[in-house]
Amino acid sequence: MHRFAKPVIALMDGIVMGGGMGLAQGAALRIATERTRMAMPETRIGLLPDVGATHFLRVLPRDLALYVGLTGARLSGADATRAGLADECVPSAWLRGFIERLETMRWDDAQDAMTQLKRVFVPAANIERHAPLGDIRAHIKRHFGVCATGGVERIAASLSTDDSDWARATLATLESHSPTMLEVTCHALLRGRQMTLADCFRMELGVVYRAIDDGDFIEGVRALIIDKDERPRFAPTTLAQVRAERVQHFLSSPWRKEMHPLADLGRVIS
């Protein structure tokens, strides 16, 4: 979808989470509404934001990308538009007649297709100009801007010094998620800002493979989706117990085995 030549339109009129985000962010035109609820909540079940999130979240400032990716925070349509995860925010009711409006388009001018599409989907006046994310933007920058120099453990330490309701709630959210996958997600999001889309997909696939094979994913699904006791037994249980080599294990390709140089030479010769 990211590379498809024809314009793909994503109507994000409601819940846009996980795989829905992966589909929507590959579209050429992303339309949000007042009903949009956007999030990447994978760390809650012992996974990382995948489906290209390590690539498409880099449109956000680094601290905001980490906040969204680590906490699974929900964004409104106005938030998404202001952050660059949606192109327009329109009234939900405006989408009802879009097929009829689409049929009025002239397709003989391909270069003007996107301009025409925007006219089809976007009314003269947009709605929901207030983006709630803006109210906490300074808090996010203060606490999540420290990740690059100390990981998620430092974010948690920073939040613990803030007595605001938002900081306490955010810290409680992080403490309920998989500590290992929080650290892995932090590193993956930072790496993804310098990687191609294809390499981000490859990295995410490797992490997901390891999370299912020997990580917290199965336990997260059990606790939050199957048994619904909401008491996952993640291992380790705290950020302080997460070892750097364990994080690197998840970020290393599970299919790229180290081979002796002579073994590679022998294979080439044969």
pLDDT digits (tens, 9 = 90+) for 65-99: 999 999 999 999 999 999 999 998 988 988 888 88
Q: What is the pTM of this model?
A: 0.87
For β-strands 9-12 and 29-33, DSSP reports them as parallel
Calculate the alpha carbon distances from 33 to 12, 17, 72, 254, 264 in Å. Answer: 7, 15, 20, 40, 55
> What CATH architecture does domain 9-251 belong to?
Alpha-Beta Complex (3.90)
CA-based torsion, 132, 134, 140, 142: positive or negative: negative
pLDDT digits over 185-239, tens only? 999 999 999 999 999 999 999 999 999 999 999 999 999 999 999 999 999 999 9
Of 221, 215, 7, the closest CA to residue 113 belongs to 7
Tracing tokens 């085995």 back to the chain, one arrives at 257
Q: According to the model, what pLDDT value does residue 128 have? A: 59
Q: Is 29 helix (H, G, I), strand (E, B) or coil?
A: strand
Task: Work out the angle between the directed axes of helices 137-144 and 165-176 (0-180°, nearest 10).
Answer: 50
Query: pLDDT digits over 28-71, tens only?
Result: 999 999 999 999 999 999 999 999 999 999 999 999 999 999 99
- Strand, helix or coil at 232? coil
Please give the Cα distance from 133 to 67 (Å, whole number). Answer: 11
